Structure 1
Amino acid sequence: MKRWSGLPSKWRTATFDPVMVGIWSVGLAIRLIFLPVTFHSDLYQVYSRAALAVTSGDWFAWNSQLVAQLVHTAWFAFVRLLLPASGDLWSPTAGVAGLGAQPADIERFLAYRYLARALVLLKLPYLLGDALTGWLLLRLAPGGPRRWLLALWWLNPIVIYTSALFGRHETIWIALLVAGCLAASRQRRWLGFLLSALAAVARFFPAFVLPFYIVSLRRSWRQVLLVLGATTTVWSLIDLFFVVRSGRSPTLTLLGDYPHVRYLVALAVPVGDDTPLALFPLLYVLALCYWIARAPLGVDAYRAIAGALLCTVVALIPVHPQYVVWAIPFAVPVLARNGSGRVIAGLQAGLFVLWLLRWGASVTTELFLPLGQSFVATLPDPQLVAAALIPPAVWQPVVRAAFTGVTLWIGWLVLEEGVLDPSARRERQGELVGGRR
């Protein structure tokens, strides 16, 4: 098909590819099937807090995951106009830490006359996050096999489960992180830093890769110190604002109450005293020291360590299934390049589905509560079915170990291609990136 010659070159569309259109269409159709018929209470919690913020006018009442909550509040302020008779639909206790939405609140929501419309509208930003991330990945790795790259993201069961079934907002922030990497690859390092930092403020996982962004894309160590100082100052001012306003520090709240922080020290070995040695912090500090001392500079190096590190986080800490999607984006361009990578991606997705059984009905069959309690009651509990076939003490450790091994191997492949492979290794040019010696 010829290009439309009457448009400026930067507006012209690429050659029509029916396979790419088919991939986009199939992924969209799958999501549209699941959006109105699946539900998890996390979705209701975040939008109940948004409803409370909109009705009270206090958009900063919830200081945990503030950026993510503000985005949901802004979206809710718009979509509530499309949800008639929804004023008393939301939980008044969803914003109370340690209490949350009550079962009666959730039952009231599930009985809403326009439930299917509500679920589609509330999850729509997550669908857009999926699509935007796919579009950005195609531009981040333009030389790779575009069809496989898109399929491994857009049709990935892990991605579809997270956004369309579970109803989780992870891909919004994944899109920001990938956009930051793309901006850096186009010589817009500060824009890339701001996008990556915003993703880190919104979610837990990007915070781990942000120091590697600063180190990999530095022009001098003085610049690194200035960026770290400015970042610390801005965060301290934000923290102080909430301390003065509500008497609570977001930093101390995260360190004291946020379960993800405790996950970081869950994998530990005894060292002969009362304090066990936490493995993930140990590996993270070793990786950062190596990166500071010896790793190559540049966007490719950053993308490699970001992909490897996110795979390591997902593999080594006890994350819930809705967070596994963080291991996918930077790995997809590498896995799409050859048949073995595509097989490994399929193996990871299959093990993920098996690992869901460990969490039982709450993240599997009960997601279909919008279809009715009577319908869900006819579905067997996957965890009980698996336990009837193989003892949980046998299959759960095996599946978990296999998933961990595959995910760590994917992280190694990403790191190997971007940093360790001699053909991909770039010369270090003093302390400069894209500049003169």
Structure 2
Amino acid sequence: MKLKLPRLVIFSIVIGILLRLIFALTTYHGDLAALVLAGDSLAVKHQFINFYESVFTIGTQGELKLPDHQMTFIYQPLAYFIPGLIYLPFAGVLKGLVDGLLHTNPYLLAGKSLFFPLLIYKLPLILADLGTLFLLPKFFTKKKDQHLSLILWSLNPLAIYVSSMVGQVDAILTSFLVAGLLAFKKDRLYLSIFFFTLSALVKPIGLVLLPAVALYHYSLHRRLLDVVKLVSSGLLTYLLVIAPFLPSQVYRQYTLFAEHINKTLFAGIAISPGTLIPWFFVTYAAILVLLLHRRISPFYALGAALLASLSFTHFHPQWLVWLTPWLVIYLVTTKDWLTPMVTLFSWLVILFSFEPSLTYHLFFGLNLNPIALSSSLASFTPHLISLSRAWIAALLLHFTLQKQAHET
């Protein structure tokens, strides 16, 4: 697809890229330390299979001992493998930076307003973000819709925040989700399953989309064997990638069976003492039933499946970036600006309800210490925060009520 871009679109893309580069150089969050470790383990030391163990030492009783900085690898292999491969040409620059960046107040950033190696560490995330920018226009046939999608993603504050400020691998996950959604739109279901599985190899949330894709196919053709083949193709891909890491005690304990992957199951309906039906299971099952009986748009069913994992969870601010491609497509096709804008406002409220390290303290070169915005928000406006989180649940309901995809 060739796009002849108007000046406004080109201007928006240039501004978006510049913002990403500027914020990448001038902001730092402690979670980026995981990618700093990935750069050291994979790009510098070439520990491609045993990188999960590389940060641990073995105690006298054979127990695993965390290093002083307490940072380890907690996500699936592609969350580190993809950045690690991109870091390879920069191994000489990254060598020796680990100790200076792995602490709460990294000494390598002291007295600086910007730090160029941060751009290297965030480069895989920015590239993934730009990959999403490239894919979004392919959902539309009208030029004006293609152009609007480019403007919206170029200036998307959530995407910029995730890729260039906090430096989270959710940017990579989102690009795989969009690739899978595009393949789904083109009815290339095995390819869609493949990309959704790749997203799950960053963070496992993508696995919830595999049954949805398979049930959509079954609702059209009523061939149970096809359902088994579709889901199996995804699970087999998933198992093949994680297989080399399964012998690792560190991988099993801190990643595969880690407690943090069960966050979506905390909220639920207590049906007896000690027995809880998670709200995620209730809503996810309802989405699958609606999809099976063709009572919900397949496009929105996939988005709702992701929303179900967020709506009843104290989710981290960067997780909402998974849904932003759906919101962009929704806005472009329906011209309903209000719903995405309220969602963005809700995200901002939720963001500022967290500690300042996720907001103004990201700028290491500035001594920003206004009134504690995050603390004040958490203390004085708890109902606004609750309402903002409730809006995400309302968005889930809105998606499940969409019976057909809007024309693109």
Normalised by the length of structure 1, the TM-score is 0.77
Measured against aligned partners, the alpha-carbon deviations of 1:219-262 in whole angstroms (never above 9, x if no partner) come to 52101113334544554555554344x34664x65464241x23
Does structure 1 residue 321 correspond to structure 2 residue 317?
A: yes
User: Do the aligned residues in 2 keep the contact of 1:46 with 1:72 (CA within 8 Å)?
Assistant: yes
Shift, 1:71, TM fit: 0.8
User: Do the aligned residues in 1 keep the contact of 2:304 with 2:400 (CA within 8 Å)?
Assistant: yes
User: Do the aligned residues in 2 keep the contact of 1:134 with 1:150 (CA within 8 Å)?
Assistant: yes
Residue in 1 that maps onto 2:50: 61
C-alpha distance in 2 between matches for 1:109 and 1:207: 39
Residue in 2 that maps onto 1:122: 121
The correspondence for 2:20, drawn from 31, 36, 39, is 31
The correspondence for 2:360, drawn from 354, 359, 365, is 365
Does structure 1 residue 41 correspond to structure 2 residue 45?
A: no
Q: Say which SS state the counterpart of residue 28 (structure 2) adopts.
A: coil
Structure 1 stretches of at least 4 aligned residues deviating more than 6 Å after TM superposition: none
Residue in 2 that maps onto 1:222: 225
Q: Say which SS state the counterpart of residue 199 (structure 2) adopts.
A: helix
Shift, 1:274, TM fit: 1.9
Q: Say which SS state the counterpart of residue 28 (structure 1) adopts.
A: helix
C-alpha RMSD of matched pairs (Å): 3.0
C-alpha distance in 1 between matches for 2:305 and 2:127: 25
C-alpha distance in 1 between matches for 2:272 and 2:78: 42
User: Do the aligned residues in 2 keep the contact of 1:214 with 1:224 (CA within 8 Å)?
Assistant: yes
In the TM superposition, 1:262-281 aligns within 5 A as 262-281=262-281
C-alpha distance in 1 between matches for 2:236 and 2:23: 43
- Give the unaligned 5+ runs of structure 1: 1-9, 95-100, 425-437
Aligned partner letter, 2:91? R
Aligned partner letter, 2:300? A
Does structure 1 residue 74 correspond to structure 2 residue 85?
A: yes
C-alpha distance in 2 between matches for 1:206 and 1:329: 14
Q: 1:335 to 1:404 in 2, by over 3 A?
A: farther
User: Do the aligned residues in 1 keep the contact of 2:27 with 2:165 (CA within 8 Å)?
Assistant: yes
Does structure 1 residue 332 correspond to structure 2 residue 328?
A: yes
Does structure 1 residue 87 correspond to structure 2 residue 78?
A: no
User: Do the aligned residues in 1 keep the contact of 2:353 with 2:375 (CA within 8 Å)?
Assistant: no
Residue in 2 that maps onto 1:406: 391
C-alpha distance in 2 between matches for 1:123 and 1:239: 24
Residue in 1 that maps onto 2:381: 395
Aligned partner letter, 1:126? L
C-alpha distance in 2 between matches for 1:160 and 1:139: 21
C-alpha distance in 1 between matches for 2:273 and 2:267: 16
Q: 1:253 to 1:116 in 2, by over 3 A?
A: closer
Measured against aligned partners, the alpha-carbon deviations of 1:266-307 in whole angstroms (never above 9, x if no partner) come to 212332322233211222123223433x127xxx94322112
User: Do the aligned residues in 1 keep the contact of 2:77 with 2:242 (CA within 8 Å)?
Assistant: no
C-alpha distance in 2 between matches for 1:324 and 1:253: 23
Q: 1:412 to 1:420 in 2, by over 3 A?
A: farther
C-alpha distance in 2 between matches for 1:178 and 1:278: 27
Aligned partner letter, 1:124? L
Residue in 2 that maps onto 1:312: 308
* Identity among equivalent pairs (%): 19
User: Do the aligned residues in 2 keep the contact of 1:37 with 1:368 (CA within 8 Å)?
Assistant: yes
Residue in 2 that maps onto 1:6: none
Aligned partner letter, 1:365? Y
User: Do the aligned residues in 1 keep the contact of 2:137 with 2:147 (CA within 8 Å)?
Assistant: no
Structure 1 window deviating more from structure 2 (23-32 vs 56-65): it is 56-65
Residue in 1 that maps onto 2:60: none
Structure 1 window deviating more from structure 2 (164-173 vs 227-236): it is 227-236
Q: Say which SS state the counterpart of residue 150 (structure 1) adopts.
A: helix
Q: Say which SS state the counterpart of residue 180 (structure 2) adopts.
A: helix
Residue in 1 that maps onto 2:374: 383
Measured against aligned partners, the alpha-carbon deviations of 1:145-199 in whole angstroms (never above 9, x if no partner) come to 3344333333222222111211112122211221122223334332222122111
Normalised by the length of structure 2, the TM-score is 0.82
Q: Say which SS state the counterpart of residue 274 (structure 2) adopts.
A: coil
User: Do the aligned residues in 1 keep the contact of 2:197 with 2:238 (CA within 8 Å)?
Assistant: no
User: Do the aligned residues in 2 keep the contact of 1:314 with 1:327 (CA within 8 Å)?
Assistant: no
Aligned partner letter, 1:227? L
